[in-house]
Amino acid sequence: MKFLDLAKVYIRSGGGGSGCVSFRREKFIEFGGPDGGDGGNGGSVWVVAVEGLNTLIDFRYQQHFFAKSGQPGMGNQRTGKTGDDIVLRVPVGTEILDEDEETVIADLVAVGDRVQLAKGGNGGWGNLRFKSSTNRAPARANPGQEGVERTIWLRLKLIADAGLVGLPNAGKSTFLAAVSNARPKIADYPFTTLVPNLGVVGIDEQEFVMADIPGLIEGASEGRGLGTQFLAHVERCSVLLHLVDGTSSTITKDYRTIVAELEAYADTLGDKPRITALTKADALDTKTLSTRRRALEKAVGGPVHVISGVAQQGLADVLRALHAEIIADRLAGQQEETGPWQP
């Protein structure tokens, strides 16, 4: 299945049915009076977040979604049938944007979240509604209300607890394959990863979801490479794991490049908790590894993990550190919802 995280769709709710002008016609009833029914309401357009989807590829092949219009009213006080609603099923984590691609209409972050995008038009009144003491035989009815037509954007931001960031060939895909059942493409050339990958990671009988996005390069926040296209997928993460290639001779520059791009893209990414790890430890001798680790710790201003996805070195410690940050973020979120504890 191809990955698609942005789609433009055209929607239109159904128009209301027209009211009916009708008069009762029965034998032996001289003054039957008006009996025109109302038109049916038009169908609405809804969007709902469902399980089992992680791409918007369905909306590449179908972009127009039109709800049914209501049926006109009929004689004998019969109301027209209401038009059927239409429902767009999207992955959890989808944002609904207005046509300007900036205004957020809704953010569907949980299974079952449901939003009405376009309400169906009301049905018109039949002539029975206009009967009064001074107008016993009204010969008028209302037309149905027209439906709403609009253009919207669907933007998917994957729901993951931890996100992997780093330069191309920093070992992100190798790390994800080593700690989860995900099988991303791994090769010895840059930009092997072209779409985000998700994996479920287990540590100490606990599980969390990790996202691997394509490698960032200098200028990614301005549109260079694939960075700006996929950085949104780590916006929802509780913690970022910054992987730095240990075989690089410019590790401090590599580290600062990624940090600068995260901060330039969005303040929320720059402020997220980050854990830094030096990768490919199996390819370095002890002296070189120690020197580069000290240099990176000086640039980070804190501890740096040394790992190797191929040799399975240091992975458990990194996963425990990530899980601790995820738990802390969840607890902070619960306190915001319930308010401070009161004795």
Domains of the chain: which residue ranges? 1-156, 162-338
The reported pLDDT for the residue numbered 10 is 96
- State percent of the chain over pLDDT 70: 88
In whole angstroms, what is the distance from residue 213 CA to residue 231 CA? Answer: 7
Residue 193: predicted pLDDT? 60
* Residue 192 marked as a ligand binder: yes
Q: Is 283 flagged in the annotation as binding?
A: no
Angle between helices 286-300 and 251-265 (to 10 degrees): 30
Give the residue with greater pLDDT, 158 vs 150: 150
Is 172 a known ligand-binding residue? yes
215 marked among binding-site residues: yes
The verdict on whether residue 176 carries a ligand-binding annotation is no
Q: Is 168 annotated as a binding residue?
A: yes
Angle at 48 between CA 63 and CA 95, to 5 degrees: 70
Q: Is the pLDDT of residue 108 over 70?
A: yes
- Please compute the mean of the pLDDT values over residues 266-294 and round it to a whole number: 85
167-201 burial, b at 16+ Cβ within 10 Å, e below that, comes to bbbbbbbbbbbbbbebebeeeeeeebbebbbbbeb
Question: Is residue 308 part of an annotated ligand binding site?
Answer: yes
Length of the chain equals 343
Integer-rounded Cα Rg, in Å, for the chain is 29
Look up residue 294 and give its two tokens.
């000290």
331 is in an annotated binding site: no
55, 86 in Cβ contact below 8 A?
no
Residue 81 marked in a binding site = no
Query: Is 212 marked as a binding-site residue?
Result: yes
> Span 36-59, mean pLDDT?
91
Integer Cα distance of 229 and 5 in angstroms: 9
Question: Which of 110, 124, 109 is CA-nearest to residue 20?
Answer: 124
Of the pLDDT bands very low, low, confident and very high (cuts 50, 70, 90), residue 186 is low
Nearest-CA neighbor of 192 among 211, 178, 174, 209?
A: 174
Q: 1-156, what's its fold?
A: Spo0b-associated Gtp-binding Protein; Chain: A, (2.70.210)
Superfamily of domain covering 162-338:
P-loop containing nucleotide triphosphate hydrolases (3.40.50.300)
